[in-house]
Amino acid sequence: MQALHAGKKETAWVECNNQVSTSLELRKSPASIGLIPGIIEKGVKVMLFAGDEDLICNYKGIERTIARLDWGGEQGLGVSEVVSILIG
């Protein structure tokens, strides 16, 4: 939890500022599904994270992306370990 800076937050939740997300959006950037396999095959450990109670983050999209990944002769998670972390 410390490595992720995921301590308990005692303040109220506030949705992101749309101006920030719009500024970070690159419509011509490559899709992650095309980049992640090369990163994994180079030996970089990858963690895709979505909160289990976050209605804004698209955890279903992350799950579908993982299921469709083709890397190192494997599809999806292959022989990788699935880890669930409960915070709080």
**pLDDT beyond 70 at 61:** yes
Using pLDDT thresholds of 50, 70 and 90, give the confidence band for residue 80.
low
Q: Give the model's pLDDT for residue 82.
A: 65
Q: Give the model's pLDDT for residue 31.
A: 82
Delimit the domains of the chain by residue range.
1-88
CA distance 40 to 50: 19
Residue 88 or 45, more confident? 45
- Dihedral class, residue 43 (left if φ above 0, else alpha if ψ from -120 to 50, else beta): left
24-51: average pLDDT: 82
- State the Cα angle at 61 between 8 and 35, rounded to 5°: 100
pTM (two decimals): 0.54
Distances (CA, A) of 28 to 18, 24, 25, 31, 59: 19, 12, 9, 9, 23
